[in-house]
Structure 1
Amino acid sequence: MAQPYPKLILKIEDALKKMLKGTVPVISTDQLADSINSRTDWIILDSRELAEYEISHLSNAIWVGHLDFSLSRVADITKDTKIAVYCSIGVRSENIAGKLLSYGFSNVWNVYGGIFTWANEHKTLVADNQQPILDVHGYDKNWAKLLGHHVNCILSK
């Protein structure tokens, strides 16, 4: 397997140390991938904007959005289900995970490093048809610098 980009992952960690509030438990991308591979039941929620999700996402992720997040998008999920929420690096997903906890969900985790770390570690991303893809929405030009060169960074759809 190709090696991850340690310098980029460290830059993401530095940003998270400054930006995360620490109000939600975190799960690493490796822990989540291991849980998925061992068939542990997780619901994975994508809290990026729809244009970001439509480019690529984690396999079987459910889009819930961020700015227009609505509890109705998670109405079919039982409150004790294991939920992992991700975004680009983990800031927006911490916000949505916090909302879920405040709504009574009891087993919610923020994916530390988000889809950027996932992609930088060469973990599988999929398009809407669930086929593997190397494209990731870079959010903006500054954040896109946190993606490895093997990733096709898309800034708009």
Structure 2
Amino acid sequence: MIKYILSVVISFLTMAFACGQPAPADRPHLENPNFDKKVENLLRFSVPLIGVKELKNIQSEVHIFDTRKEEEYEVSHIPGATYLGFDSFDAKKLADIPKTDTVVLYCSVGYRSEKIGERLQKMGYTNVFNLYGSLFEWANQEYPLVDKNGKPTKKIHTYNKNWSQWVDDGKAEKEW
């Protein structure tokens, strides 16, 4: 009997750990409730969140990094963002950033940027944020995008056809 109870307790603890942390009650919400639920189910909430409206209205200095593939970044990115990458992540790109500065990370929806945020936290960065809904929500809010030459664009790399459903039709030209 004790073995059974112990195995049940261990199973519950394992499931709780595997599922990550629950979504914070005060987290930002996305305009599309289905997209909001999709993103909520993807994240572990291990990195503090910032909403796209909050980032758009920030008046203080912030370092914005794109954690997607370079070809995604070249199609479009948030103005002022620096390419940091995911598979090609290179910590040397952060060498001039003080560990107490505000750093905002984004990708397509927030999954890859959360993983890079976890790495930055382990490296000692103390003010790291994951952009909730990331570039897709930025485009859905019709905030500006620029291409690899810094020119305004409406194009957005949506990773693949399946993920493109989360960018509202008519708000961006989808590519994959």
Report the TM-score when normalising by structure 1: 0.89
Shift of 1:13: 1.1
Amino acid at match of 1:17: E
Amino acid at match of 2:173: N
Question: Which one has a bigger Cα radius of gyration?
Answer: 2
Q: 1-side partners of 2:33 and 2:52: how far apart?
A: 14
Report the TM-score when normalising by structure 2: 0.80
Shift of 1:17: 1.6
* Structure 2 residue 158 is the aligned partner of structure 1 residue 138: yes
* Structure 2 residue 42 is the aligned partner of structure 1 residue 19: yes
* Structure 2 residue 96 is the aligned partner of structure 1 residue 76: yes
Shift >4 Å, 4+ stretches: none
Count of paired positions: 146
Q: 2-side partners of 1:17 and 1:61: how far apart?
A: 24
Q: 2:173 aligns with which of 148, 152, 156?
A: 152
* Structure 2 residue 79 is the aligned partner of structure 1 residue 59: yes
Q: Secondary structure at the match of 2:50?
A: strand
Q: 1-side partners of 2:49 and 2:74: how far apart?
A: 25
Q: 2-side partners of 1:118 and 1:77: how far apart?
A: 24
Q: Note the alpha carbon deviations across 1:39-88, whole angstroms, 9 max, x for none.
A: x1000000000010000000010101011212112112111110000000
Q: 2-side partners of 1:60 and 1:100: how far apart?
A: 20
1:112-127 aligned within 5 A: 112-127=132-147
Q: Any unmatched runs of 5+ in structure 1?
A: none
* Structure 2 residue 52 is the aligned partner of structure 1 residue 32: no
Conservation of the 8 A alpha-carbon contact between 1:29 and 1:118: yes
Q: Any unmatched runs of 5+ in structure 2?
A: 1-29
Per the alignment, residue 16 of structure 2 pairs with: none
Q: Secondary structure at the match of 2:65?
A: strand
* Structure 2 residue 69 is the aligned partner of structure 1 residue 49: yes
Q: Secondary structure at the match of 2:85?
A: coil
Per the alignment, residue 107 of structure 1 pairs with: 127
RMSD: 1.2
Q: 1-side partners of 2:162 and 2:148: how far apart?
A: 26
